[in-house]
Amino acid sequence: MSTTKFTHQTVLLNEAVDALNIHSDGIYVDGTFGRGGHSKKILTNLGPTGRLIVFDKDPQAIEVAMKLASEDSRVSVVHNGFSSLSTALNELGIAKVDGILLDLGISSPQIDDGSRGFSFRFDAPLDMRMDTSRGLTAAQWLAEAEEQDIAEVIKTYGEERFNRQIARAIVARRADNPITTTGELAALTAEVVRTRERGQDPATRTFQAIRIFINRELEEVKNVLPQAIASLNVGGRFAVIAFHSLEDRIVKQYFKSLVEKPKLPRWVMVKDEDLPAAPIEIMGKAIKPSAEEVSANPRARSAIMRVVTRTNSQ
């Protein structure tokens, strides 16, 4: 399938690349290549001896990445999720890197290509896999999962208060006809969700929840965070762009846990300066898109970027 039909506006392009504080001879990781917006900007800041390793699960994104790599020998491509970071770097013979960027969530081409099954705006096979070469589709999971499990997924990952009713309706419907298309799932959800949030389709939270679950998105974030910190050289930067509160909460709490001093019993006679130094420093406040960027690209409105620097090797 052609990868040129669907475009992607890179969010926080300059801010993210600036946050990496790129050295011309450094080694950097773009853990979410997408259509290469951030990667191409990173490459403009790298010298001839610099190196960029890009990851993506999506075969269409990998096709674009491989073309870039064929034109630029500084680029190495990993067809896998970013939670394979440590293993992939080891296989490439790389001990440490100087910067890592993650742009979490779904990309515009994945949403806008109706055949991928991510969007309720199109009637298409209910797939939702970022990596279409492996794993269960959303339709397969909905055909097999227990009602309680469906409800829990929609509640946990979609924060949908009608989760039980939606799960019950899915199980009742599949007894006669399994749900196989996005249109069928969207229509069923619209029948069940009785109150609608202004400007939001009643299927929004359910589609988000199932997508996150099918792709193990939050588990991937949790798994990569310690790997990323461990993979950084001292002085290296780690920037994470999140688009909804579930992702951002995981990132924020993990970074906070690394900089907080341990709470010791009052009787323990240890001075603050004798406690182990934090492995990272949080670089200022979280960064959000400017009003101008949101006006030009409304999908950027919920983005939030957090940046840390590796401060010691312990």
Where among 181, 197, 214 does a domain terminate?
Answer: 214
210 and 175: one domain?
Answer: yes
Q: Are residues 26 and 75 in the same domain?
A: yes
Same domain, 21 and 92: yes
In a domain, 137, yes or no: yes
Whether residue 263 sits in one domain with residue 200? no
**Residue 255 assigned to a binding site:** no
For the segment 10-59, what is each residue's pLDDT rounded down to a tens digit? 999 999 999 999 999 999 999 999 999 999 999 999 999 999 999 999 99
Distance CA 221, CA 28 (A): 18
Residue 110 labeled ligand binder: yes
Q: Which residue, of 177, 195, 214, is where some domain finishes? A: 214
Q: Give residue 270's pLDDT.
A: 62
Residues 156 and 233 in one domain: no
Residues 157 and 86 in one domain: no
**Residues 160-184: pLDDT tens digits?**
999 999 999 999 999 999 999 999 9
Task: Give the residue among 234, 200, 239, 211 at the shortest CA–CA distance from 107.
Answer: 211
Q: Supply the DSSP string of the chain, one letter for each residue.
A: --SSSS----TTHHHHHHHTT--TT-EEEES--TTSHHHHHHHHH--TT-EEEEEES-HHHHHHHHHHHHH-TTEEEEEB-GGGHHHHHHHTT---EEEEEEE-S--HHHHH-GGGS--TTS--B----SSTTSS--HHHHHHHS-HHHHHHHHHHHH--TTHHHHHHHHHHHHTTS---BHHHHHHHHHHH--S--TT--TTHHHHHHHHHHHTTHHHHHHHHHHHHHHHEEEEEEEEEEESSHHHHHHHHHHHHHHHSPP---TT----GGGSPPPSEEE-SS-B---HHHHHH-GGGTT-EEEEEEE----
Task: Give the pLDDT of residue 267.
Answer: 60
Domain identity same for 292 and 161: no
Q: Is residue 115 part of a domain?
A: no
Q: What is the pLDDT of residue 85?
A: 98
* pLDDT tens column, 86-131: 999 999 999 999 999 999 987 777 776 777 877 878 889 999 999 9
- Tokens for 126, please give them: 């209910």
Would 97 be classed as within a structural domain?
yes
Q: Quick one: 27 and 87 in the same domain?
A: yes
Pair (56, 188) in one structural domain: no
Do residues 42 and 68 touch, judged by C-beta distance below 8 A? no
What's the number of domains the chain is made of?
2
Query: Whole domain around residue 192: which residue ranges?
Result: 132-214
Mean pLDDT across 59-79 = 96
121 within domain boundaries: no
Number of Cβ within a 10 Å radius of residue 91: 10
Q: Which residues contact 164 (CB under 8 A, 6 or more apart)?
A: 151
Which residue in 179, 196, 94 sits closest to 141, CA to CA? Answer: 179
The answer to whether residue 126 sits within a structural domain is no
Task: Verify that 194 and 210 share a domain, yes or no.
Answer: yes
The response to whether 244 counts as a known ligand-binding position is no
Question: Residue 112 annotated as binding?
Answer: no
pLDDT tens digit sequence for 222-231: 999 999 999 9
- Give domain status of residue 136, yes or no: yes
Residues 149 and 292 in one domain: no
Both 161 and 227 in one domain: the answer is no
123 is in an annotated binding site: no
What is the CATH number for 151?
1.10.150.170
Examine the fold and report which residue of 214, 234, 249 is the final residue of a domain before the chain moves on.
214
pTM for the whole structure: 0.90
Q: Is residue 123 in a domain? A: no
**Predicted confidence (pLDDT) at residue 206 exceeds the cutoff of 50:** yes
Q: Is 268 inside any structural domain?
A: yes
CATH code for position 233: 3.40.50.150
Q: Do residues 53 and 28 touch, judged by C-beta distance below 8 A?
A: yes
